Amino acid sequence: MKLIATWKAALSATIPVAGGPMFALAEGSAGVDSARGRFTDLKAAQSSVPAPQENRPAKTGPILSCRDLWKVYGGDARRVRAILAEGSSRDEKIARLIAEGANPSVAGVSLDVRNGEILMVMGLSGSGKSTMVRCLSRLIEPEAGEVRFEGLDLLQAKPADLTEIRRRKIGMVFQNFGLMGHLTAINNVAFPLRVQGLALADRLAKARSMLELVGLAGREDCFPHLLSGGQQQRVGIARSLITDPDLWFLDEPFSALDPLIRKQMQDEFLRLQAKLHKTIIFVTHDFLEAARLGDRIAIMKDGKIVQIGSVLDFLLNPADDYVRSFVADVPALRVVKAGQIAVPVKEAFTSQGDPVVNAEESIESTLKCFLGGAQRVAVRKADGTITGIIDHNLIKSFLGRTNSGHA
């Protein structure tokens, strides 16, 4: 905190900070252009190299998408369906439903989840995030809308097909673990295979390796109540992954855990995902968790998605006061990673004596370099190639546009 304050003071003493929107990646304003321009010059100075690579594996189209999804509690079922079938706007429908004494828990949500991405669904309790996620797997039957999973309309699927999809392609982790108290850890993990009718030896062998993967080797024969919360959730994670699902739902998986354990489990989650590359829908009420783990974040309020985008979008362009209040106390310097704001450069770019930071590190750590007198910082990917550059102006305008001063 102190570090940042000193740095800002030093900055404002030497360079007058402009009042206007200098920094806006999304808007493409002058500040960025100038930065780009300088980088372009830099690039031109280098010999021509192949285009910069994406950080993540190439993404194809959406694996899961829903359109105008509604879940309404209470009210007369027929009247509710009639209202939803009308052509009126979403807000009109909501008003009419409430007038009927019904409670729209998920209100006209449309969403695409790309293959291999981690979508974080955020909101306060009661905002409909858990309900929405349960509608996507049809644990809860929505009143209206369409859910397409790998091209198949889940809401129209026959029970047998749905069972088959759940058995092979969907895994889910629950806030309170949802373990079966009468089964040992290994039998809990093997449960989905038991349901599929796999032979005992096969499923135990597989479950054992899953437990090893989540770091619970040796605890196979413990009953859940003998395990700590973190260990129970590891069992839950192992169970949800044992069928090697394509789509992985996590419903506030770490909310019931102590802060320290939560941090551990988040690391564990990132480690697993680096290995497995699942498509993930992750529900949380913790913005830091969302920023830390997610590729994109969707914030829900009263059953609607109010904004969806990257961490930067939320920090720089909050859609409304609700979102603003959500991110108000977020330490932007810590949740935004260097790789997320760096201006990309061509491959084979060398740092030329500039300090180098890792792409996954927070912006906060680059500040140290600037404090040390550097004019710009090179950003390096895990494999060691330099992929981007952050310069003095970029960081200054970032600080001006976010609330990092509060941090």
Partner 1 sequence: MLEAFPNRQSATALGCFAALALAVLAVMFGRELSWLGQVPASFSLPVSNWTNAAITGFSTEFRELFRIVGDALNWQLKTLQSVLLDIPWSVMVVVLTLGALRIAGPGLAALTAATCLYIVFAGYWKESIATLTLVSLGLPLACIFGAALGILAHSNRYVAAAVDAVLDVMQTVPAFAYLTPLIVLFGFGPVAGLVASVLFALPPMTRNVKVGLDQTPRETIEAAEIAGCSRLQMFALVRLGAATRQILMGLNQTIMATLSMVIFAAVIGGFEDIGWEVLRAARRAEFGNGIIAGLVVTLLAILLDRVSEAAFVRERQPRGKLSATSFWGLTLLAGAVVWVAIAPLLPSLAQLSMRPYMAPLLNDTLMSVSVYLSTVTATLKSVITTYFLLPLRIGLMRTLTPAIWGFEMSPALMAIYVAVFCGSALVLVFRQQVGVALGVLFTGLLLYTGFSGMPWLPLIAGLTLVGWWLGGIRLAAITAGGLLAIAVSGFWPSTMFSAYLMAASIITAIVLGGLLGVLAAEYEPVSRTMRPVNDFLQTIPPFVILIPLIFFFQVGDFSSYLAIVAYAIVPMARYTEQGLRHVPATQIDAGRLAGCTPLQMLFLVKFPAARSDIILGLNQTIMAALAMLAVAALVGSRGLGQDVYIALSKADSGMGLLAGLSIAMLAMISDRFMRRMAVQ
* C-beta closer to partner 1: residue 283 or 338: 283
Cβ at position 308, least distance to partner 1 in Å: 25
Nearer to partner 1, 128 or 236 (CB): 236
The smaller minimum CB distance to partner 1, of residues 248 and 326, is found at 248
Report the residue number, 193 or 332, with the smaller CB distance to partner 1: 193
Provide the binding-site residues for partner 1, judged by CB under 8 A. 134, 137, 139, 163-164, 166-167, 170-172, 174-183, 191-192, 194-196, 236, 239-240, 243, 249
Please give the sequence-ordered ranges of beta strands (E in DSSP) within 39-98, or none if there are none.
62-73
Tell the smallest beta-carbon distance from residue 157 to partner 1 (Å): 13
**Residue 142 · residue 131 · CB < 8 Å:** no
Strand pairing category for 386-391 and 376-380: antiparallel
Question: To the nearest whole angstrom, how small is the minimum distance from the Cβ of residue 102 to partner 1?
Answer: 21
> How many CB atoms within 10 Å of residue 88?
12
Q: Are the C-beta atoms of residues 357 and 377 closer than 8 Å to each other? A: yes
CA distance 42 to 49: 12
Nearer to partner 1, 85 or 195 (CB): 195
Least Å from the CB of residue 171 to partner 1: 7
- How many helices and strands in the chain, by DSSP H and E? 17, 14
Number of C-alpha atoms within 13 angstroms, CB side, residue 38?
15
* Minimum distance, C-beta of residue 277 to partner 1, in the bound complex (Å): 20
Nearer to partner 1, 181 or 384 (CB): 181
- The residues facing 177 across adjacent strands are none
In angstroms, give the least distance from the CB of 239 to partner 1.
7
Residue 246 and residue 279 in contact, taking contact as beta carbons nearer than 8 Å: yes
- Listed residue (252, 176, 173, 181) closest to 214, CA to CA: 173
Q: How far apart are CA 230 and CA 177, in angstroms?
A: 10
